[in-house]
Amino acid sequence: MAWADVAPGSGQGNASPTLNVNANTTFFTRQFTVNVNGQVIQATQAGANCSYTVDPTSLEESFEGGRAWVNVSTTEGCGWTVTASEGWIRVLTTSGAGSATIFIELSPNSGDVRNAFLTVAGQRVDVRQRRRG
């Protein structure tokens, strides 16, 4: 496996093998087995904690409506959901795992400036839609 190895991998006489394990940058737990002269050692490496970065954290959109997007960055395997505070925003990408681009669609605005927000992976993204004229 590319993320763990034992050095030296073989030899004769006395030696002190060293287990080298790369950091686990995914959410998933990894398991591996090492066999040294018939003695089997099983080990488990925990996955990384999930943390999220959302960009941008605010949107200013045209009165005409249309599509917009927000990027969420996170560790592979970390799940997230997206909700909108108002019905004039339709979330096209409602959930996923790992880093992604989230698409939304705004209805046209025929009234005053309106404000809402998205909740993306627990983080707030403010949405402002301009008025016509």
The one-digit pLDDT tens for each residue of the chain (133 residues) are 688 877 777 777 787 778 788 888 888 888 888 887 788 888 888 888 899 999 999 999 999 999 999 999 999 899 999 999 999 999 999 999 999 999 999 999 999 999 999 999 999 999 999 998 7
The pLDDT of residue 27 is 83
The pLDDT of residue 1 is 66
Spell out where the chain has E strands: 4-7, 18-21, 30-36, 39-45, 53-55, 58-61, 66-73, 79-84, 89-91, 95-97, 100-106, 114-120, 123-129
Query: CATH homologous superfamily of domain 53-129?
Result: Immunoglobulins (2.60.40.10)
- Kindly give, in sequence order, each residue whose CB lies less than 8 Å from that of residue 57, ignoring residues fewer than 6 positions away: 123, 124, 125, 126
The pLDDT of residue 84 is 98
In the chain, which residues fall in CATH 2.60.40.10?
Answer: 53-129
